[in-house]
Amino acid sequence: MKKFAVVLSGCGVFDGAEIHEATLSMYAIKKQGAEYEIFAPDIDQHHVINHITGDEMNEKRNVMVEAARIARGNIKPLSEFNAADFDAILFPGGFGVAKNLCTFAFDGADCKVDADTEKAIKAMYKAGKPIGALCISPVVVAKILGNVELTIGQDKDTASAVEKMGAHHKQTNHGEVIIDAKNNVYTTPCYMLDANIVQIGEGAENIVRAILKTLA
pLDDT tens digits, 26-79: 999 999 999 999 999 999 999 999 999 999 999 999 999 999 999 999 999 999
Evaluate if pTM is beyond 0.95. yes
For the chain, the farthest-separated pair of C-alpha atoms sits apart, in whole angstroms, at 48
Q: Looking at residue 39, what is its pLDDT?
A: 99
Domain of 171 in residue numbering reads as 3-215
Q: Looking at residue 26, what is its pLDDT?
A: 98
What is the count of structural domains for the chain?
A: 1
Among this protein's residues, is 111 annotated catalytic? no
Q: Catalytic pick from 11, 102, 111, 135?
A: 135
Mean pLDDT of 86-115: 98
Please, what's the b/e burial string for 196-210 (b: 16 or more CB within 10 A of its CB; e: otherwise)? eeebbbbbbbbbbeb
Look over the chain and give the mean of its residue pLDDT values, rounded to a whole number.
98
- State the Cα angle at 84 between 17 and 65, rounded to 5°: 30
At 102-123, the pLDDT tens digits run 999 999 999 999 999 999 999 9
Domain CATH code at residue 140: 3.40.50.880
Reported as a pLDDT band with limits 50, 70 and 90, residue 139 is: very high
